[in-house]
Structure 1
Amino acid sequence: MAQTDVLIVGAGPTGLTLALWLTRQGVAVRVVDKSSGPGEASRAMAVQARTLELYRQLDMAEAVIAAGYKTPAMNMWARGSHRARIPLIDAGKEVSAYPFVLIYPQDRHERLLVLKLQSLGVEVAWQTEMLSFEEDERHVTARLKHADGQEESFTAAYLAGCDGARSLVRHEIGSGFEGGTYKQLFYVADVRVTGIEPAGEAHIAFDKSDFVLLLCYGENDQYRLIGTVRDERAEHPEQLTFADVGHDAINGLNLKIAEVNWFSTYRVHHRVTDHFRHGRAFLLGDAAHVHSPAGGQGMNTGILDAINLAWKLAAVVKGKAPDTLLDSYQVERQAFARTLVETTDKLFTFVTAQGGFADIVRTRIAPLFASVAYKSENVREYLFRVVSQTTLDYRDSPLSRGKAGGVQGGDRLPWLPGGRADNYDSLAAILWQVHVYGEAKADVSQWCAKHGIPLHVFAWEQAYEKAGVARNATYLLRPDTYVALADPEGEASTLSRYFSEQGIMLPA
């Protein structure tokens, strides 16, 4: 017999999120991490809108927002001159209830997730390292090493590798990690600055081949500073201090570094693993994909990996769905990871490219284009959708069926704030549910009541059509809130057929 349902290796944001969502669904977990506790330093800073939308499922969204900082604007500088100010607040006001870029450092984020997990009765086993594991038809047996050197054999039904870019789980299953490493060496520093204008906002500055990004924490002149180390100094990163990095772009911001609280260097990789699933083992977060920090996507992508997998594991562990349901995790998340790596690679290349023409584009053309383009509401909304991950869809998934209006199976359900009720309120529950905008047919109401699937009917408003929703259609939503089935005819028989074809047992 397994000692638990899921063994989670790694207690970063991805592993903690997976543990939270599984625990909330009644799945037993054990979380181990070789570190002594949550991280004390952080590279990931942004929490995107799609993450906040899903955090409502554990009543965490408001706590994260309260602890974070809504960045008012991004300022672009070139060769010491302020070239553009791009407002960020309410850029996605028609897209999400969270239409902003939230800065919430990963180390603080991790501590919040640990506390939330503790409130559900689960403690992380710190200073516990997985050395190896073996798998048979029914279980995974892992060899764990504790802080005192003692080893333990631990058995679980499934294993989740959330153990970072150097993942032992990935190594053990023999999955490749194709891609490469950028030649640039990055530095990151927590600093206290004075003299920056406008204060409390984000700034990106270019000076020839040098660039720097400055993000505000929202408190006491505290900022995160990110830039690149070039020339021969990058060959010995272990010897570098903040005094050694290029200061041309920093000086161009006309600020003064009053204090350096923390400094580190790191390499940036762009890789995606071959297999997100291998038997009873899964790879999530940095263990499955790494890419440049452009756009603040990394941590959020790992969190969405976890939420995607959690409801599927819960269904299979409880005997409500066949093991084949778990194959859809790779189909859905690997496709997105590859697209994300390609996109961030292009942006990263633009920011770091060297040469006269690249310098002209960065310091003259790009700021002008950004300033003009961002005055368009359509452009602002488009950029918000891309960065916030609200455009992510699973249309090519075997779990996605149908189209009604502009909404297809696999899409994120459009947020419709203009109605009498917020159609996202019901999404706080981790369960299957049906939405109808207009009137639901009697057989649909009866079907939902019979099977214990909540039915939410929203009185029709003309604004819904503009958002792409079809009148009187049925939208079956997965436990992770994505549209599983869009049926323009609104028939109960179509709902039954969906569950039958997927082999998923109805709740009642």
Structure 2
Amino acid sequence: MADSRVLIVGAGPTGLVLALWLTKQGVPVQIVDKTAGPGTTSRALAVHARTLELYEQLDLADAVVTKGYTVPGLRLWLGGREAARVPFDEIASDLTPYGFLHVFPQDEHERLLIERLEALGVRVERSTELIGYAEEGDHVSARLRGPEGAERIVNAAFIAGCDGAHSKVREIMGTGYPGGAYPQIFYVADVAGEGPAFNGDLNIELDESDFLAIFPLADNGRIRLIGAIRPGEGKDLDHLTFVDLSDRATKLLKLKVDKVNWLSTYHISHRVTDHFRRDRALLLGDAAHIHTPVGGQGMNTGIGDAINLAWKLQAVLAGRAPDALLDTFEAERRAFALRLVQTTDRFFNVAAAEGRLAEIVRTRLAPIILPQAAKFEPARNYLFRTISQITLNYRGKGLDHGHVGSVHGGDRLPWVRTRDGDNTKALKRIGWQVHVYGAAEERLRRWCEARRIPIEVYPWSDAMGHAGLRENALYLIRPDTYVALAEPSQAVSAVEQFFAKVQIKP
């Protein structure tokens, strides 16, 4: 191979996470971005539980939690009156160590990722734009334009497009980006002030014709306000001010705004590219999929793309897996992106649609149904699992086999408490591993030792059964902490057959 590096185009959270995970695994990377510096506005806010779980692999989770803000609850408002409150700590204490909504603004998030990447010896090449690329047998030849306008050619084994909704990599790939835009126009504002909605919770106003949401930020007295622009108000978006847009919000939620840090208006689209991979080019994050901001899924999904791809690229570049392994990246992540667009589309249409039926749902049904649903444990679990992405699975996509109890190959490994803490410590390791909850047979131990595959054995407890695990079963765990194989008998032949089938040498 002419060059074993991966060229990453785009240094938002998706590109930075891909660079971090690859570098940690010993894969050389080059990461470029056409902007002069990292973002300076908060943009994406939510960091969900599944992202924090995956961040433990690079000791990022604690830093994100420490630097961000843990939101304690959700408050529903109706016509300027608080109608209900749902505390998050009652929802997911037994599902994940991160059973909460966490706010960490994207600009701060990017700075943390950049610091970690630079500590590993990798710097983002700024003011550097991809002009084009061509595949040349065993490598990609890319033309870059630097900050002074000079162009140069760089070779890489693969090129990863993390360059947003207007991706140059996707354009050159020639893959479609089907979908469309919603008719509504929204505004988002980062403001400082005071009032009853500056309460540290996520606040949602269900008005007859509007959708208003307030996200708390880490420092007291700052919030993110999101609202819809009524028909007729958005004729001249370039000249609209916060005062023009926020009259209803400030009155309904009794906001006293002292300072507007920034304001932006935007359309919302829903699109998923036809292909996440074409030969040596791959698409991640907004370059591959965009959807409504309902549930704060966008940035988290891009990060999930990066971690899913990183271990597969490493295995292929190290000669431990065939090129076909990269096809599972598209199979797994595109299927999830399509489901996510469908799910967020339904929620968005309820939250922001116009018309009498939508008004009835928002103002009469939701304030009654949501608080009652929050008291019902299965409903709470379903809601949290969906939004937090811990319910995401890769069943039937080629890297999964078997099931034991309620755990299938392709599932996220359930989080459980153990005598010494929980089962997340072992998952910090980026690599294949075997888990047994109960007692491991000596034959299995010897097999793992001979192949240098770590084995983790946890004394059985009732909590493990409640989480869906089965006593003494064998769980083969992928490098991204998903279950590859669930085998009831601890038969090493089942593990060997799995690796032979997928042609991976662990």
TM-score > 0.5, shorter chain as reference: yes
Deviates more, 1:376-385 or 1:13-22: 376-385
Offset at residue 364 of structure 1 (A): 1.8
Unaligned runs of 5+ in 2: none
Kept in 2: contact 1:9–1:31 (CA 8 A): yes
Q: Distance in 2 between matches of 1:2 and 1:45?
A: 40
Residue matched to 2:98:
98
Residue matched to 2:500:
500
- Please show how residues 469-508 of structure 1 align to structure 2 within 5 Å: 469-506=469-506
Q: Distance in 2 between matches of 1:259 and 1:356?
A: 36
Residue matched to 1:120:
120
Gap change, CA 1:197 and 1:294, over 3 Å in 2: closer
1:64 matched to 2:64? The reply is yes
Gap change, CA 1:288 and 1:197, over 3 Å in 2: closer
Residue matched to 2:424:
424
Q: Distance in 2 between matches of 1:357 and 1:398?
A: 43
Residue matched to 2:325:
325
RMSD between superposed Cα atoms in Å: 1.2
Deviates more, 1:452-461 or 1:283-292: 452-461
Offset at residue 498 of structure 1 (A): 1.1
Q: Deviations over 1:365-422 (max 9, x none)?
A: 1011111111223322221111110000001110101111111100000101154441
Q: Which amino acid is 2:389 matched to?
A: Q
Deviates more, 1:364-373 or 1:139-148: 364-373
Q: Distance in 1 between matches of 2:403 and 2:36?
A: 49
Q: Distance in 2 between matches of 1:209 and 1:2?
A: 59
Offset at residue 462 of structure 1 (A): 2.3
Unaligned runs of 5+ in 1: none
Offset at residue 220 of structure 1 (A): 2.8
Kept in 2: contact 1:394–1:411 (CA 8 A): yes
Q: Which amino acid is 2:366 matched to?
A: A
Residue matched to 2:273:
273
- Please show how residues 33-48 of structure 1 align to structure 2 within 5 Å: 33-48=33-48
Q: Which amino acid is 1:479 matched to?
A: P
Deviates more, 1:377-386 or 1:400-409: 377-386
Secondary structure of the corresponding residue to residue 259 of structure 1: strand
Offset at residue 285 of structure 1 (A): 0.2
Gap change, CA 1:10 and 1:90, over 3 Å in 2: farther
Secondary structure of the corresponding residue to residue 498 of structure 1: helix
TM-score, length-scaled by structure 2 = 0.98
- Please show how residues 218-297 of structure 1 align to structure 2 within 5 Å: 218-297=218-297
Q: Distance in 2 between matches of 1:198 and 1:286?
A: 31
Q: Which amino acid is 1:244 matched to?
A: D
Q: Distance in 1 between matches of 2:289 and 2:139?
A: 26
Q: How many residues align?
A: 506
Q: Deviations over 1:456-490 (max 9, x none)?
A: 01111122222111111110000000000011111
Secondary structure of the corresponding residue to residue 57 of structure 1: helix
Q: Distance in 1 between matches of 2:504 and 2:4?
A: 23
Secondary structure of the corresponding residue to residue 205 of structure 1: strand
1:201 matched to 2:201? The reply is yes
Residue matched to 2:18:
18
Kept in 2: contact 1:139–1:156 (CA 8 A): yes
Q: Sequence identity, in percent?
A: 51
Offset at residue 305 of structure 1 (A): 0.2
Deviates more, 1:212-221 or 1:300-309: 212-221
Kept in 2: contact 1:143–1:154 (CA 8 A): yes
Offset at residue 334 of structure 1 (A): 0.4
Residue matched to 1:349:
349
Q: Deviations over 1:42-80 (max 9, x none)?
A: 321000000000100000100000001011111111111
Q: Which amino acid is 2:24 matched to?
A: R
Kept in 1: contact 2:417–2:463 (CA 8 A): no
Offset at residue 91 of structure 1 (A): 2.1
Kept in 2: contact 1:36–1:126 (CA 8 A): yes
Offset at residue 347 of structure 1 (A): 0.6
Deviates more, 1:132-141 or 1:196-205: 196-205
Q: Distance in 2 between matches of 1:223 and 1:408?
A: 41
Kept in 2: contact 1:472–1:488 (CA 8 A): yes
Residue matched to 1:315:
315
Kept in 2: contact 1:70–1:89 (CA 8 A): no
TM-score, length-scaled by structure 1 = 0.98
Kept in 1: contact 2:3–2:139 (CA 8 A): no
Q: Distance in 2 between matches of 1:2 and 1:190?
A: 47
Q: Distance in 1 between matches of 2:154 and 2:211?
A: 48
Kept in 2: contact 1:444–1:490 (CA 8 A): yes
Kept in 2: contact 1:441–1:491 (CA 8 A): no
Q: Distance in 1 between matches of 2:117 and 2:190?
A: 28
Secondary structure of the corresponding residue to residue 19 of structure 1: helix
1:5 matched to 2:5? The reply is yes
- Please show how residues 171-210 of structure 1 align to structure 2 within 5 Å: 171-197=171-197, 199-210=199-210
Q: Which amino acid is 1:199 matched to?
A: N
Q: Distance in 2 between matches of 1:289 and 1:44?
A: 15
Kept in 2: contact 1:205–1:250 (CA 8 A): no
